[in-house]
Amino acid sequence: MGEKTVPILPCRTIQPVLDFYGALGFEVTFQQKSPNPYAVVARGGIQLHFFGMKGYEPAESYSTCYIETDDVDGLHETFRAGLKAAYGRVPIRGLPRLGALKDTSHGVRQFLMTDPGGNCLRIGQRTSQDPHHRPAPKETFLRALHHAALLADSRDDPEGAAKIIDRVLRMEDERPTPVQLLRLLVLRADVAGRLGDEETAASARAKAAAVRLTAGERESVRDDLERLEELRG
């Protein structure tokens, strides 16, 4: 069958959106300025349409779409390099921004990216045929990571994620393993930055960088270490 679905996403003005996707390797395949601002960008099998909307507020946008790929790691690295070249750094907060690459609890390895129009693209590669969320782990710190990550990414609630992490890190009767501590601190630094709390973000980054890991442990948290480097700017 020849059907396909193409998202049509809003933005305040077209050109900043086109510049952003151009940095990611997209080609502008169509653009009109009147009677209504409209444009199309494409890269490989991805096609996105955009329309200009007066009075639109990107920071309050709920527009989103999902992009499936068979090489999420490669696409994340390509986008990361393109944005760093265009902006001088990888934008990780505000608009636009590139999220961390991570394995989810519903069998997908993915990252989130938000363009200047406030449109969130979830880009993922399936790692399991079961689309349901796995039960939260019973172990204290893994459970905290599970719920904090869901709040930070799926619910866009960095404040809720911060509360969970702060609560478990204050515990005195249990302590996380080095790997768990590193992952908690990196996520805490990430959400603090999104909340504009640079003091807490800097503290969490410094503590994360000081965690001592074996070579095997470092390999197991490769995604988190790469995110830490991005957060350190």
What pLDDT digit, counting tens, does each position of 72-84 carry? 999 999 999 999 9
What is the C-alpha end-to-end distance of the chain, expressed in Å?
46
pTM of the model: 0.88
Distance CA(134)–CA(117), nearest Å, equals: 33
Q: Is residue 176 within 8 Å of residue 188, measured between CB atoms?
A: no
CATH 3.40.640.10 for domain 8-125: no
pLDDT, mean over the chain = 95
For 170-198, how does the pLDDT look when each residue is reduced to its tens digit (9 = 90+)?
Answer: 999 999 999 999 999 999 999 999 999 99
Distance CA(175)–CA(178), nearest Å, equals: 9
Per-domain residue ranges for the chain? 8-125, 136-232
The torsion angle over the Cα atoms of residues 206, 93, 233 and 196, rounded to 10 degrees, is -40
Distances from the Cα of 151 to the Cα of 156, 191, 224, angstroms: 6, 10, 17
Classify domain 136-232 at the CATH topology level: 1.25.40
Half-sphere exposure of 72 (CA within 13 A, CB side): 23
| pLDDT over threshold 80, residue 61 | yes
